[in-house]
Amino acid sequence: MSMSAPAHAPPLEELTHRLRRRERRVTAPRQAILEFLRRQTHPASRKEIFSALPRGVGDLATVYRSVQLLESMGMVQRFDFGDGVARYRLLAEGEDGHRHHLICRQCRTVVEVRECFAADLERQIARRNGYRAVSHRLEFFGLCPQCQGAEP
């Protein structure tokens, strides 16, 4: 066939099922967005998602609204790589999506970082300051091998 999705990608049916379960409609734009997202290995911007949609299906505003819905349902996770553009990736059912990245400052290549430094410290900081429901965001920035030795 074509454009194989990563092995771990949830099947499209499972994704649409999650929508129906919450009384959300399974529309052409939403299916196309989900189909696109399940093929990605890195977070995608909404403009990228829009550009990848089949001709005539979906509108940029619809992509924004759909992604927002998916985010509110916990089906995608949002990332901020510091360039003023939000990026999203699909989340497996039940997955919390906690993840970190190493981003090339020049070409924006993204590497996923497995480690998460101790949640103990997070708890400690929360307690020390009387904060609740504390989470964190941690991203690394650098120059990837290809971009070394020739900064603009």
Partner DNA sequence: CCCGCAACTGCAAACCATTTGCAGCTCGGC
Partner DNA sequence: GCCGAGCTGCAAATGGTTTGCAGTTGCGGG
Q: What would the x/- binding string for Mn ion be over residues 118 to 147, using CB under 5 A?
A: x-----------------------------
DSSP string across 12-48: HHHHHHHHHHTT----HHHHHHHHHHHH-SS-EEHHH
* Beta carbon nearer to Mn ion, 7 or 118: 118
Measured CA to CA, the distance from residue 53 to residue 88 in angstroms comes to 15
Bridge partners for 89 per DSSP = 77
CB atoms within 10 A of CB 11: 10
Site for a copy of itself in 90-109 (CB under 8 A): 102, 104-105
Closest separation in Å from C-beta 104 to Zn ion: 3
Q: Catalog residues that contact a copy of itself under the rule CB under 8 A.
A: 80, 82, 102, 104-105, 111, 113, 115, 117-118, 121-122, 125-126, 129-145, 148
